[in-house]
Each structure stands twice: as structure tokens, then as C-alpha cells.
Amino acid sequence: MKIVLFPGQGSQRKGMGDELFDAFPEYTRAADAVLGYSIRTLCLDDPDNQLGQTRYTQPAVYTVNCLSYLDHIRSEAKPDYVLGHSVGEYSALFVADIIDFETGLRLVQKRGALMAEARGGGMAAVIGLEEDGVAAVLQNPALANLSIANYNSPRQLVISGPKQDIVKAEPLFLEGGATHYRVLNVSGAFHTRYMAEAGKQFAAVVGEIRLNEPRLPLISNVTARPYRKARMLQHITDQITAPVKWTESIRYLMAQGATHKNLVEIGNGKSSVVKALAMRTMRAAEPLDPALLAAEEARHAAETPPPAPHEHPDQNPTAPLAKDQAETPAPHAQREQKPAAPPAESPAAIPAPHERTEQKQAEAPAATPAPETPTQKRRSAPQTEAPTPPIAPPIQPFFSADALGNPAFRAEYQLRHAYLAGGMYRGISSVELVNRMTRAGYLAFYGTADLAPERVEQDLRALKTTSAGRFYGANLVADIDQPERNETLVDLFLRWEVPVVEAAAFMQITPALIRYRAAGLRRDEHGRIQSDRRIFAKVTRPETATAFLNPAPERVVKSLVAAGKLTEAQAALLREVPMADALIVAADSAWQTDEGMPYAVVPTLIRLRNEVVQHRGYHRNIYIGAAGGIGTAEAAAASFMLGCDFILTGSVNQCTVEAATSDQAKDLLQNMNVQDTDYAPSGEAFELGTRVQVLKRGVFFPARARKLYDLYRHHHALEELDAKTVDQLQSRYFKRDFAAVFREVTEQLSPADRAKADSDPKFKMSLVFRWYFSYASRLAQEGVSASKVDYQIHTGPALGAFNQWVKGSPLEDWRNRHVDQIAEKIMTGAAEILNQRYNTMAHKN
């Protein structure tokens, strides 16, 4: 595959076209005749400094592009696809034989003149923000007159509008996350609605010409799809006011199999501007969805009438733009006018842009007639009864994975999709898992629960080293019995500058959370509070959500100031911001669960969020995401329809290559269905009766955990248990006696808790019983085959649903599952589901 790219305005330079004008004298004379001045003098000498003026730039770029292409195909193969950036598209029209050289030059001359007359407008390049981020900043009422003009690459867009608005937008974009903002040296708001009058005048000119059918696919700036014969005039006229969809054009070509090796930029010979933009897109973006493109093709085929018997491309030659110039020798003469034996200097001897021989046409097999559509059959059949109303064409809203969720959220956290992977117990959410997700443009959390601080620090150091400036996070699980453990973890988070913390199972705001929150607060140059340390609070009920939606409790803040753990300045900042940047609304999820119903909880907490934000007058929104039960495209789509800014998955990520658990555990998880989970007491909150959701298929853990909890509730000491129960627990559950378990437990206790265990038999019993929960998790993570029935594996029905979804595909085997691929499948599938539902409802209505 070969793809030729043409640059547009901005690629010009003094000296461009050197040697080309001598190589193609007929084209050079024709250009002089059309323009009324010497194209050679303008490009090589530019004596009047006009090359940088739009009315001169555009014809010069067009001419040099076209001559460069003719020179290129003297020795190189012709392309399979062609496209050009902005005015560069007119060179592509020439290459595709849609227009001849002179007609294209006249169009470009008129286009340049009209655009040069635009006054009061401006443009600026915004670098470092993706489309959603730019769109989010443009939501500011002060920037209502601006719009996106060029989608150059995923992180380079150009905005356009009134000059004064372009200038005042700079601080807002830099505050919104742009790394660079560069005002361009132009006089007009090109590729926007402000060019409507110029577009109207240009349309009148374009309407005077006829166009040839494309001889090869030309990708339109307006649609990012190949030119269609029926809409070619519209594509050309719309180009002045429509944005340049360069990024999507490259993604379309990627879907056709293109890579960077297929790209050839042809222009002034010194730059590779548009090729560089294309390569950035290929590195940072995914191909367009093949299913979406197939649906578009099917719709186009259904809507395109069959050609009339007399129609033929060569019977519709390009008409001259002006009658008084009809005698000018055409460097790119129409095919039927070519002499059989041209002299050496004749332009007909120059290879045509995309020549097809009569032999190839003769050898081409006859096309198989397409089967008649129902509508065609009705038209040809005798009308013996009232005709059936035609079926309405499908409505296509074009939901895409990139557009789901909150664009401001995606922009703030530099995400491709509004999709997060939650932290899983004992480092199952591993460094490898987090890195793979962040590299793919997602946010993921490392799992710290029940890991030694030394191991956590080692992994946080690795994450900081490999993050490359991307957002990542670690989870912090509330530790009721040992709150000092949370303090230790927060110290590590601050030391290694963890940018986001997923706070889970907190019933109230703790000093550790407040210290982390305070450490990242600062005022920017506009006086607004910004945070470098974000908290995503996992909540299940309104009272907990309320605590995180409000500022830190004043009583706790004052005590931290008095203890020297916070400064007065930090305390003042804390009073103006909520404790959380985002709420993760956890429904019936794996691990600790309130067995909530998302359709009840999510809307309730969204309303609560709106009320608190309005009441407090926060200058930043608090995002809300959904978690729990999300393992299929349908579940993700439902979450976004509820109004969530993002989604967070958990269980599905445990059964992947990157998850740090055993192959034996993954084998069990791979075979589970939606009904194969159960609720068991939580080892972390044993005395409170909190429950976790775990795997029940193939294991005894849920039943054994419930038995331990029942024994704890009905007895006050281990000594009260009967001999049969003691033997069962020691031989089958623990694989050791109570004394050995207690010795192991006390090694991890503080002196105070050790003393309490010696004096409080009930507390000692809880410690011994809770040991089994940690032991069962270790067995599963280490893959101890002899003790498989004791595996504690936190999971929810989301994984069972995913297993059924991918049954019969390569993803059925967990060894083919990667966390980022699962994310992509769920998000693209959600977009497809929303498109299908939208179409269904639209037709019903």
C-alpha cells in the first residue's frame, strides 16, 4: 500500500520548486497564464515578499505539490490512496484525476483570494490536549465564539474564531492542561462558520465546473472518508467552512491496514509536516472501528442509485472555469484529447496522475449484478396493490468509545477512554497491570491491601520510574484495627508522589486521608485552588458520599494542625475544597459490598453531588463513576446512560495475563458464570459483619468463612468450642493448631493489641479466625493446588458475564486476555450498543 500526502499552507518556503519549473515547462507556462504572474519568480525569488500572503501562498503550494508529484511518478509507483491537508487537498484532486491542473489552479487562486479578504479572525495551535480537553475548555462561555478548525493529531488541534477571543483563550487553555498555545500568523478564522460568506462565493465558482469520477480513493478533509461521486462538489465547497479532520482521516487509513511505512509526503521537498502529524496519530490512536466503516459502506450502497445506462466517467469531462481561457494549452489534457504520438516536449508524454490503460479496462471481469433490494423489486413488480412504504434509512448517531463519559474528565487525566481499572487486593493489580493500562491511555490503581510496606514502597518506586508523566494511582483500604497502617501508606504515597489514590471502605474521613489531600493543594496564578494529589472515593451510600463531597472535618483538621502535621495555610485551603475529586459508586461488587443496586444508587448520588457542588460553590466539578457488575458492553453502556463520567472495572481484570495471581486461580475464574459467586464475611471487618463477594464454584471458602463467623458470634473463647469443631478447624481449615496460628498472628500485632489478646479471649478468637481469611487469599494467589478448596478469590458476576460474552473467541482463554484489550472491547462494544439502541428507538418513534 502507498499513500501520498500533500501539505497545505504553512509548508511554503522561498526556493521551493527549484528544478521543477524547468522539468515541466508546459505546466509552468500554463500556471503563469492562469495566475497572471510568474510562478517561478514567486517561488524562487519572492521579490515582493508575497509568498507568505494567502492569495499567493495557496496557488504556489498547489503548483509545487502537483509538479513534485509528476516528478515523483517518473520513477516511483503511483499511490493507492491520496489526501492533502487543507489547500493540499486540491493537489490530491489533481492526482485523482477529478480535476485537471488548470482547473485546480483556478479554484485555488479563487479560494486564496476569498480567504485573504477575511479580516478580524485568528487561529491558534493547541498542543498537549486531546479533542475532549479542547472541547471542555471551549465550553467556557467566554470562548463561545471559538471552534476547532483543524484536528491535526490527537494532541495537536487548531482553534479558530475572532482575533480577540483567540488571544484571551491562551491562559484558559494553559490552565486546562495544554502544554503549548501558539497564535498563528493568519488574518481569518479559517475552516469555521465565519468563512460562510467566502464559502458562498466559492460555491458559485465551483458550481460552474464538472468533475471526473475519482480514479483512486481520495480521503476528504470534510468527512475523513473517500470522495463520493454524488457529493464531490459538496466536499469541495464545504472545505472552506468545515474543520480539517486529519486525525480521523489517518485513522480511516489505519483501518485499511496502513502503517507509517506506507506514507509518502510530496511537497516542497524539504518538509514532512503532514507525514509527522500522521505518524503521531498512528502512534497515539486506534484505527476506526471496522464495524462502523462496514455499516457506513452498507448504508452508502443502499442509498446510491444504480448508474444510468449512458453514464460513463469519460463522458463527463472537466469543464473550463472561464470561457475566455478555454484556449490556454492544458498541461493535463483530457484523456480523449491525447495525441497518439506526442513530441518529446509534449505534456502528454508526462505520465498522467493516475493513468488507466484501455487494456486493463478490457481485461477487467464483468461485475456481478448486485441482488435487487426490496425497494427495487417493488419498483419493477406490477402494482396490484398499494405499495409498501419504503423502509427508513438507519439513523446513525456515531457514538464512539472516545466520546463516552465526561470529556473534561478524560482531558484532565489524559485518558483515551473514560475507563479505570480498580486496585485489587495484595498487589493483584500489579505494576505490570498498571503500566499496561496507563500506556494504553487508561487510569489504573495498584493494589496495596495486605501487602508489607517494604513491598509497597518497592512497587511505588517502580511505578514512578515507568509512569512517564502519565496519571496512575494506588488504592488505600480503610484499616479499622490498625489505622497507623493507613498513615504509613500515605507517607509512602507522598514520598513517591502518587498522583491519585483510590480510597475504599472508609466510613468517615480519617487523618491519613486529610494529610494526603492537603499535601497537593496550592493556589494558581488566578487564585484558584489546584490539587496535585487526587482522591477517588469508593462509596456505596449517601452518608459516606456526603463526607467526601464536603471539606475535611474542621475538628480533625485542627487536631492535625495542633500536632504539627498540617500548616495553617494547608488548613485554610482544605476548608475550600471537597475531600474527593471523584466518587466511585460501587454497586454489588467483588470484595466488600453493600449489595447495592446501581439504578437506585447512582442517580441518587449524582443528585447529591449536584446539590453539594452548588451549595458549596466549588469552581471544579466532582466526577462520578460507576463500579461493580461491569464486565460487558451492555453494562458499560447502561452506566454511561445513567450519567456517569467514567466507569471502573475490577473482577474482569483479575483473569488476565497481567494480574498477579496464580494460574490455578485464573483457571477457576475463567470457567465461572454469573451465578458462581457467593457472599462471605469479610476478614478485614470480621466483627462488624461486613460481607465480601467471592467465588463459590469449585471451592469451600464461602461456607467455611460463614461457619467461622457463626462460631465467633455464639462463643466467647476458643476454649468453648467442642472437640469435634476444634479438630475440624485445625485439621481441615487451618492445617495447624490454634497455638501455631496465634503465634503467627501476634508477630504482626502492636504491643497494645498483643496485651489485649492475652487478656481478652473473644479478641483472641477473632484474631485466630481472621487469620484464615488472609491464609485463604495467599493460597489462591500462590496457587497451592493441594488447598484449592480453601481459595478466597474476590470476584463478582461481572467476570461471569464477560466469560459468557467471549465464549468461543480467543478471549475465552485467560492467557489471551490483556487488561487494555478488555478495556477496549468493553468501551467499543458500549458505543456499538448505544448506536443500536438509538437506532431502534428512533425508528420506533
Which residues are marked as active site? Answer: 86, 191
User: Which residue do the cell numbers 467465588 mark?
Assistant: 695
Give 529's contacts (C-beta < 8 A, 6+ positions apart). 521, 522, 523, 573, 576, 577, 619
Beta strands per DSSP E along 637-790: 646-649, 677-681, 691-695
CA distance 500 to 502: 7
SS3 504: strand
Q: Do the beta carbons of residue 135 and residue 124 sit within 8 Å?
A: no
> Hey, which residues does 624 pair with through a beta bridge?
583
Q: Do the beta carbons of residue 613 and residue 621 sit within 8 Å?
A: yes
Provide the 10 A C-beta neighbour count for residue 703: 12
**For residue 97, which phi and psi values (nearest 5 degrees)?**
65, 20
CA distance 404 to 421: 16
Q: Do the beta carbons of residue 250 and residue 281 sit within 8 Å?
A: yes
Concatenated DSSP letters of 212-238: PPPSS-BB-TTTSSB--GGGHHHHHHH
Provide the 10 A C-beta neighbour count for residue 543: 10
Single-letter residue type at 781: Q
Q: Do the beta carbons of residue 89 and residue 128 sit within 8 Å?
A: no
Single-letter residue type at 649: T
Concatenated DSSP letters of 289-314: PHHHHHHHHHHHHHHSPPPPTT--GG
Q: Do the beta carbons of residue 694 and residue 813 sit within 8 Å?
A: no
Strand ranges of the sheet holding 147-153, from the earlier edge strand across to the other edge: 147-153, 156-162, 121-127, 180-183
Q: Do the beta carbons of residue 62 and residue 86 sit within 8 Å?
A: no
SS3 131: helix
> Hey, which residues does 369 pair with through a beta bridge?
none
Q: Do the beta carbons of residue 60 and residue 194 sit within 8 Å?
A: no
**Pairing relationship of beta strands 180-183 and 121-127 according to DSSP bridges:** antiparallel
CA distance 641 to 365: 50
Q: Which residues of 493-507 are buried (b: 16+ CB within 10 A; e: fewer)?
A: beebebbbbbbbbbe
CA distance 9 to 793: 60
Burial class of residue 154, CB neighbours in 10 A (0-12, 13-18, 19+): buried
CA distance 113 to 379: 49
CA distance 737 to 726: 9
Calculate the CA dihedral of residues 754, 758, 762, 767 and round it to 10 degrees: 40
Handedness of CA 413, 419, 424, 430 (dihedral sign): negative
Burial class of residue 102, CB neighbours in 10 A (0-12, 13-18, 19+): buried
CA distance 766 to 764: 5
Give 153's contacts (C-beta < 8 A, 6+ positions apart). 246, 247, 277, 278, 280, 281, 284
